[in-house]
Structure 1
Amino acid sequence: MLTVDYDFYCGVFHGKMPREDFERLSVYAAAYLDEVTMSRTADTLTADVEERAKRAFCAVADAYLLNEQGGGIASETNDGVSVTYVAGISNSKTESRRLYEAAALFLGPTGLLYRGVR
Protein backbone atom coordinates (compact mmCIF):
# COMPACT_ATOMS: atom_id res chain seq x y z
CA MET A 1 0.00 0.00 0.00
CA LEU A 2 1.33 3.41 -0.97
CA THR A 3 2.00 5.78 1.92
CA VAL A 4 3.05 9.41 1.95
CA ASP A 5 4.36 11.34 4.93
CA TYR A 6 3.34 14.81 6.02
CA ASP A 7 6.74 16.26 5.05
CA PHE A 8 6.15 15.23 1.41
CA TYR A 9 2.62 16.62 1.56
CA CYS A 10 3.81 20.02 2.79
CA GLY A 11 7.25 20.25 1.18
CA VAL A 12 6.73 18.74 -2.27
CA PHE A 13 2.97 18.88 -2.83
CA HIS A 14 2.65 22.21 -0.96
CA GLY A 15 -0.48 21.04 0.86
CA LYS A 16 -2.12 23.21 3.48
CA MET A 17 -4.18 20.90 5.70
CA PRO A 18 -3.18 20.46 9.35
CA ARG A 19 -1.11 17.39 10.29
CA GLU A 20 -3.96 15.83 12.29
CA ASP A 21 -6.31 15.96 9.31
CA PHE A 22 -3.63 14.59 6.97
CA GLU A 23 -2.85 11.67 9.25
CA ARG A 24 -6.54 10.80 9.55
CA LEU A 25 -7.37 11.23 5.85
CA SER A 26 -4.22 9.52 4.58
CA VAL A 27 -5.75 6.18 5.58
CA TYR A 28 -8.68 6.89 3.25
CA ALA A 29 -6.44 8.22 0.47
CA ALA A 30 -4.32 5.04 0.54
CA ALA A 31 -7.40 2.81 0.49
CA TYR A 32 -8.97 4.83 -2.34
CA LEU A 33 -5.83 4.61 -4.50
CA ASP A 34 -5.64 0.86 -3.83
CA GLU A 35 -9.22 0.57 -5.04
CA VAL A 36 -8.95 2.63 -8.23
CA THR A 37 -5.57 1.17 -9.22
CA MET A 38 -6.52 -2.40 -8.30
CA SER A 39 -3.63 -2.37 -5.76
CA ARG A 40 -1.03 -1.63 -8.43
CA THR A 41 0.48 1.20 -6.35
CA ALA A 42 1.87 -1.58 -4.11
CA ASP A 43 3.89 -2.89 -7.08
CA THR A 44 7.43 -1.80 -7.79
CA LEU A 45 7.02 1.49 -9.63
CA THR A 46 9.48 3.56 -11.61
CA ALA A 47 10.62 6.72 -9.84
CA ASP A 48 8.46 8.90 -12.10
CA VAL A 49 5.31 6.83 -11.57
CA GLU A 50 5.93 6.62 -7.82
CA GLU A 51 6.23 10.42 -7.68
CA ARG A 52 2.93 10.75 -9.58
CA ALA A 53 1.29 8.24 -7.24
CA LYS A 54 2.44 10.20 -4.18
CA ARG A 55 1.05 13.40 -5.64
CA ALA A 56 -2.23 11.62 -6.41
CA PHE A 57 -2.29 10.44 -2.80
CA CYS A 58 -1.98 14.05 -1.60
CA ALA A 59 -4.61 15.30 -4.06
CA VAL A 60 -7.04 12.60 -2.93
CA ALA A 61 -6.43 13.48 0.73
CA ASP A 62 -7.21 17.12 -0.11
CA ALA A 63 -10.37 16.01 -1.94
CA TYR A 64 -11.48 14.03 1.11
CA LEU A 65 -11.01 17.13 3.27
CA LEU A 66 -13.01 19.22 0.79
CA ASN A 67 -15.76 16.59 0.79
CA GLU A 68 -15.88 16.73 4.59
CA GLN A 69 -16.26 20.49 4.45
CA GLY A 70 -19.33 20.15 2.28
CA GLY A 71 -17.97 20.78 -1.18
CA GLY A 72 -16.51 23.84 -2.75
CA ILE A 73 -16.38 27.41 -1.61
CA ALA A 74 -19.52 29.34 -2.53
CA SER A 75 -18.22 32.73 -1.38
CA GLU A 76 -15.23 34.09 0.48
CA THR A 77 -14.43 37.42 2.07
CA ASN A 78 -10.76 38.21 2.46
CA ASP A 79 -10.47 40.95 5.07
CA GLY A 80 -13.38 39.74 7.19
CA VAL A 81 -12.18 36.10 6.84
CA SER A 82 -15.66 34.77 6.09
CA VAL A 83 -15.92 31.57 4.01
CA THR A 84 -19.18 29.98 2.87
CA TYR A 85 -19.15 26.43 1.53
CA VAL A 86 -21.53 24.89 -0.95
CA ALA A 87 -24.03 22.59 0.74
CA GLY A 88 -26.90 20.52 -0.53
CA ILE A 89 -27.84 20.22 -4.19
CA SER A 90 -25.74 22.40 -6.44
CA ASN A 91 -23.68 22.37 -9.61
CA SER A 92 -20.60 21.25 -7.70
CA LYS A 93 -18.95 17.88 -8.36
CA THR A 94 -20.13 14.82 -6.52
CA GLU A 95 -17.85 13.58 -3.77
CA SER A 96 -16.86 10.46 -5.69
CA ARG A 97 -16.19 12.46 -8.86
CA ARG A 98 -13.96 14.88 -6.94
CA LEU A 99 -11.90 11.95 -5.58
CA TYR A 100 -11.52 10.30 -8.99
CA GLU A 101 -10.50 13.52 -10.73
CA ALA A 102 -7.91 14.20 -8.03
CA ALA A 103 -6.36 10.78 -8.63
CA ALA A 104 -6.70 10.90 -12.43
CA LEU A 105 -4.93 14.25 -12.66
CA PHE A 106 -1.67 12.58 -11.65
CA LEU A 107 -2.26 8.91 -12.52
CA GLY A 108 -3.97 9.31 -15.90
CA PRO A 109 -0.87 8.89 -18.08
CA THR A 110 0.62 6.07 -15.95
CA GLY A 111 -1.77 3.26 -16.86
CA LEU A 112 -2.48 2.60 -13.17
CA LEU A 113 -6.16 3.49 -13.60
CA TYR A 114 -6.64 1.02 -16.47
CA ARG A 115 -9.26 -1.61 -15.56
CA GLY A 116 -9.26 -3.65 -18.75
CA VAL A 117 -7.62 -6.96 -19.55
CA ARG A 118 -3.87 -7.00 -19.87
Structure 2
Amino acid sequence: FKGKVVLLNFWATWCGPCKIEIPWFMDFEQRFKDRGFAVVGVSMDDEGWEVVKPFLERLKVNYRVVIGTEEVSQAYGGVESLPTTLMIDRDGRIASVHVGLVSRKDYEREIQDLLDAR
Protein backbone atom coordinates (compact mmCIF):
# COMPACT_ATOMS: atom_id res chain seq x y z
CA PHE A 1 0.00 0.00 0.00
CA LYS A 2 3.00 2.24 -0.39
CA GLY A 3 2.00 5.63 -1.74
CA LYS A 4 -1.67 5.11 -0.86
CA VAL A 5 -3.87 6.61 1.80
CA VAL A 6 -5.20 3.69 3.83
CA LEU A 7 -8.17 3.45 6.16
CA LEU A 8 -7.29 0.52 8.46
CA ASN A 9 -10.36 -0.62 10.38
CA PHE A 10 -10.30 -3.10 13.28
CA TRP A 11 -13.79 -4.57 13.62
CA ALA A 12 -15.83 -7.70 14.41
CA THR A 13 -19.08 -9.23 13.17
CA TRP A 14 -20.67 -8.84 16.64
CA CYS A 15 -19.81 -5.13 16.92
CA GLY A 16 -22.87 -2.88 16.40
CA PRO A 17 -21.06 0.36 15.51
CA CYS A 18 -18.82 -1.59 13.09
CA LYS A 19 -21.92 -2.62 11.13
CA ILE A 20 -22.86 1.05 10.78
CA GLU A 21 -19.43 1.99 9.41
CA ILE A 22 -18.92 -0.85 6.93
CA PRO A 23 -21.31 0.55 4.25
CA TRP A 24 -19.51 3.93 4.52
CA PHE A 25 -16.15 2.24 4.02
CA MET A 26 -17.51 0.36 1.00
CA ASP A 27 -18.61 3.69 -0.48
CA PHE A 28 -15.21 5.31 0.25
CA GLU A 29 -13.41 2.37 -1.40
CA GLN A 30 -15.58 2.76 -4.50
CA ARG A 31 -15.31 6.55 -4.69
CA PHE A 32 -11.66 7.12 -3.85
CA LYS A 33 -9.78 3.99 -5.01
CA ASP A 34 -8.76 5.66 -8.29
CA ARG A 35 -7.11 8.48 -6.32
CA GLY A 36 -4.76 6.20 -4.40
CA PHE A 37 -6.99 5.19 -1.50
CA ALA A 38 -7.66 1.78 0.02
CA VAL A 39 -9.73 0.37 2.86
CA VAL A 40 -8.41 -2.63 4.78
CA GLY A 41 -10.59 -4.32 7.38
CA VAL A 42 -9.00 -6.34 10.18
CA SER A 43 -11.55 -8.69 11.72
CA MET A 44 -10.92 -9.44 15.39
CA ASP A 45 -13.51 -12.26 15.50
CA ASP A 46 -12.20 -15.22 17.53
CA GLU A 47 -13.94 -17.66 15.16
CA GLY A 48 -12.05 -16.26 12.17
CA TRP A 49 -13.17 -16.92 8.59
CA GLU A 50 -15.95 -19.25 9.76
CA VAL A 51 -18.07 -16.24 10.79
CA VAL A 52 -16.36 -13.51 8.77
CA LYS A 53 -16.71 -15.00 5.28
CA PRO A 54 -20.54 -15.36 5.36
CA PHE A 55 -20.80 -11.87 6.89
CA LEU A 56 -18.69 -10.32 4.09
CA GLU A 57 -20.64 -12.19 1.41
CA ARG A 58 -23.98 -11.09 2.84
CA LEU A 59 -22.93 -7.42 2.83
CA LYS A 60 -21.01 -7.74 -0.47
CA VAL A 61 -17.98 -6.02 1.07
CA ASN A 62 -15.77 -4.60 -1.72
CA TYR A 63 -12.52 -4.04 0.16
CA ARG A 64 -9.74 -6.27 1.53
CA VAL A 65 -10.34 -7.98 4.84
CA VAL A 66 -7.85 -9.97 6.87
CA ILE A 67 -8.19 -11.85 10.13
CA GLY A 68 -6.43 -10.02 12.94
CA THR A 69 -4.41 -11.48 15.79
CA GLU A 70 -3.20 -10.05 19.07
CA GLU A 71 0.20 -9.49 17.40
CA VAL A 72 -1.39 -7.46 14.59
CA SER A 73 -3.29 -5.32 17.08
CA GLN A 74 -0.11 -4.76 19.16
CA ALA A 75 1.75 -3.64 16.03
CA TYR A 76 -0.64 -0.68 15.90
CA GLY A 77 -0.37 0.20 19.56
CA GLY A 78 -2.92 -2.29 20.86
CA VAL A 79 -6.59 -2.21 19.97
CA GLU A 80 -8.59 -1.84 23.18
CA SER A 81 -12.08 -1.49 21.74
CA LEU A 82 -13.93 -1.90 18.47
CA PRO A 83 -14.22 -0.27 16.11
CA THR A 84 -10.75 1.27 16.03
CA THR A 85 -9.83 2.96 12.76
CA LEU A 86 -6.42 4.26 11.74
CA MET A 87 -5.92 6.69 8.88
CA ILE A 88 -2.51 6.13 7.27
CA ASP A 89 -0.95 8.72 4.97
CA ARG A 90 0.86 8.12 1.67
CA ASP A 91 4.18 7.86 3.53
CA GLY A 92 2.87 5.02 5.69
CA ARG A 93 2.58 7.16 8.82
CA ILE A 94 -0.44 6.95 11.11
CA ALA A 95 -2.21 10.27 10.59
CA SER A 96 -4.96 9.64 13.14
CA VAL A 97 -6.61 7.01 15.31
CA HIS A 98 -10.36 6.90 15.90
CA VAL A 99 -11.80 4.72 18.66
CA GLY A 100 -15.53 4.09 18.48
CA LEU A 101 -18.02 5.37 15.95
CA VAL A 102 -16.95 8.56 14.17
CA SER A 103 -19.18 10.59 11.85
CA ARG A 104 -19.11 9.75 8.17
CA LYS A 105 -18.45 13.42 7.34
CA ASP A 106 -15.34 13.47 9.54
CA TYR A 107 -13.94 10.44 7.73
CA GLU A 108 -14.73 11.95 4.31
CA ARG A 109 -13.03 15.23 5.20
CA GLU A 110 -9.98 13.42 6.52
CA ILE A 111 -9.72 11.16 3.45
CA GLN A 112 -9.96 14.20 1.15
CA ASP A 113 -7.28 16.07 3.13
CA LEU A 114 -4.90 13.10 3.07
CA LEU A 115 -5.48 12.50 -0.65
CA ASP A 116 -4.92 16.19 -1.43
CA ALA A 117 -1.68 16.35 0.61
CA ARG A 118 1.34 15.90 -1.65
Give the TM-score, by structure 2 length: 0.27
Give the TM-score, by structure 1 length: 0.27
Q: Which has the larger radius of gyration?
A: 1
Higher relative contact order (CA 8 A, sep 6+): 2
* Structure with the largest fraction of helix: 1
